[in-house]
């Protein structure tokens, strides 16, 4: 017997809408609420799908009373909002007894994973954190690749987006708020049992991605995989994350950091408290408004290096998609499609009952093959090669 499930998609930007469109098709999802402070994009998607399941609702995720109202009667909430909000949202969902999915792991949660796990178990709630593309698909790829080696030495995650826009010199296809924070904070690397930190955008490397991405400059930034993978993959000596950052974006990030516009703390301006980083983010174009207006490709690649049958070996796994393909087939960008699909696959594991026990889940804890199969079923090829070094 199919049990009807009500899902709230909180945050209806580019990734939230991709996730919601996948969930709208799921036979167990009976009601889908698309909740955001701005509902124009959500209403357009509902109209395009001619959906009888989905409704748009104006919700401020930062308002406790509005959040409490939207959680009432909800079975699962998926959040794709700025990452600084996620811990409060997770706490609210657990307190309300609602299953929860987010796309980014709040760094302040990482030292408290066991504590949150216990809270979820006591509440009878499943909370899945950090399941998008990276983190999310990248973590699952790393665990899957590690299983093909006798010993794991290093894990390297590389993220590429070579998108270009004829209209905008400065833009990002990920959350502008989160991207600005990532580019202006110190970069974490796991090495020999501990986390070390590099200055923001400290060192550039030229990395060659599979065609059609090609070679691009990448920089270390702080990402969840650096903290999570060593907890789940025994013996790994180094984990790092690098992302493509264009020269103009490097200059912009360094400039706003030097003048303090990356500040996360509010300052007083004409009687109002505003966070400088939010002002900069608000001045950048919304990723959802760039759909169909960018060219290029997106790729998430994971290299797991270790020993196999006595030889040093790398297992390289990746997903890639062009922005043209994403727009033609899914009415979104490649970045939005890959991230939103990872979130949808994670959410569907809860909806379908594949995650049966209450508790806090990281992507590394998910059923690996089932996750990959579901990603592939949604049009993303999981490419893999194994090479002796």
Whether the Cβ atoms of residue 41 and residue 13 lie closer than 8 Å to each other: yes
DSSP symbol at 261: T
**Contact indicator for 309, 293 with CB cutoff of 8 Å:** no
What's the CATH superfamily of 137-330+381-388?
A: Dihydrodipicolinate Reductase; domain 2 (3.30.360.10)
**C-alpha span between 160 and 335 (Å, rounded):** 9
Q: Are 179 and 172 in contact (CB under 8 A)?
A: yes
Q: What is the pLDDT of residue 150?
A: 97
DSSP structural state of residue 285: P
d(CA 84, CA 160): 24
Q: Do domains 5-133+337-377 and 137-330+381-388 have the same CATH topology?
A: no
Neighbour-count burial of 166, counting CB atoms closer than 10 A to its CB (0-12 exposed, 13-18 middle, 19+ buried):
exposed
The pLDDT value recorded for residue 107 is 87
Non-local CB neighbours of 309 within 8 Å, separated by 6+ positions:
150
Q: Which two tokens stand for residue 374?
A: 């579901």
Q: How far is Cα 141 from Cα 240, in angstroms, rounded to an integer?
A: 15
Q: What is the pTM of this model?
A: 0.94
Question: pLDDT value at position 50?
Answer: 94
Phi and psi at residue 256, to the nearest 5°: -65, -30
Strand partners, 217: 206
Closest CA to 340 of 53, 161, 133, 130: 133
The answer to whether 76 touches 100, Cβ cutoff 8 Å, is: yes
Tens digit of pLDDT at every position of the chain (389 positions) = 447 899 999 999 999 999 999 999 999 999 999 999 999 999 999 999 999 999 999 999 999 999 999 999 999 999 999 888 999 999 999 999 999 999 999 889 999 999 999 999 999 999 999 999 999 999 999 999 999 999 999 999 999 988 899 999 888 888 898 899 999 999 999 999 999 999 999 989 999 999 889 999 999 999 999 999 999 999 999 999 999 998 989 999 999 999 999 998 999 999 999 999 999 999 999 998 999 999 999 999 999 999 999 999 999 999 999 999 999 999 999 999 999 999 999 999 999 999 999 999 999 999 999 999 999 999 999 999 999 98
Q: Using DSSP bridges, classify how beta strands 99-102 and 126-128 pair: parallel, antiparallel or unpaired.
A: parallel
CATH no. for 5-133+337-377: 3.40.50.720
Taking residue 110's Cβ as centre, other Cβ atoms within 10 Å add up to 16
d(CA 263, CA 364): 32
Helix H segments across the chain? 14-24, 40-49, 64-71, 86-96, 113-123, 137-146, 176-184, 224-232, 247-258, 276-283, 323-330, 334-351, 368-377
Number of residues in the chain: 389
Q: Where are the domains of the chain?
A: 5-133+337-377, 137-330+381-388
């Amino acid at each position: 017997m199919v049990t009807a499930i009500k899902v709230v998609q909180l945050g209806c930007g580019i990734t939230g809408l991709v996730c919601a469109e996948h969930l709208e098709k799921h036979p167990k999802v009976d009601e889908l609420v698309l909740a955001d402070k701005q509902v124009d994009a959500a209403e357009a998607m509902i109209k395009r799908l001619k959906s009888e399941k989905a409704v748009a609702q104006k919700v401020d995720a930062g308002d406790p009373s509005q959040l409490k109202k939207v959680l009432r009667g909800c079975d699962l909430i998926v959040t794709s909002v700025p990452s600084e909000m996620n811990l409060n949202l997770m706490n609210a969902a657990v307190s309300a007894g609602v299953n929860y999915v987010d796309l980014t792991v709040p760094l302040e949660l990482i030292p408290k994973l066991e504590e949150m796990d216990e809270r979820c178990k006591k509440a009878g709630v499943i909370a899945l954190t950090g399941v998008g593309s990276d983190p999310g698909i990248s973590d699952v790829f790393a665990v899957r690749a590690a299983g093909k080696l006798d010993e794991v030495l290093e894990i390297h995650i590389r993220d590429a987006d070579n998108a270009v826009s004829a209209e905008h010199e400065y833009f990002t296809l990920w959350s502008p708020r989160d991207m600005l924070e990532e580019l202006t904070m110190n970069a974490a690397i796991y090495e020999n049992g501990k986390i070390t930190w590099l200055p923001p955008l400290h060192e550039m490397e030229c990395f060659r991605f599979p065609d059609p991405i090609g070679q691009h400059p990448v920089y270390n930034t702080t990402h969840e995989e650096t903290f999570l993978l060593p907890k789940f993959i025994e013996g790994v000596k180094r984990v790092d994350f690098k992302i493509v950052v264009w020269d103009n974006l490097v200059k912009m990030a360094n400039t706003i950091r030097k003048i303090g516009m990356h500040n996360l703390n509010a300052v007083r301006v004409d009687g109002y408290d505003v966070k400088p980083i939010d002002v900069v983010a608000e001045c950048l174009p919304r990723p959802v408004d760039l759909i169909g207006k960018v060219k290029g490709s997106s790729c998430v690649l994971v290299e797991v290096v270790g020993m196999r049958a006595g030889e040093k070996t790398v297992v390289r796994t990746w997903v890639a998609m062009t922005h043209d393909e994403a727009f033609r087939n899914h009415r979104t960008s490649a970045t939005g499609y890959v991230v939103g699909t990872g979130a949808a696959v994670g959410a569907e594991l809860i909806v379908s009952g594949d995650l049966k026990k209450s508790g806090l889940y990281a992507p590394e804890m998910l059923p690996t093959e089932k996750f990959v199969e579901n990603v592939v079923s949604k049009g993303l090829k999981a490419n893999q090669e194994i090479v002796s070094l």
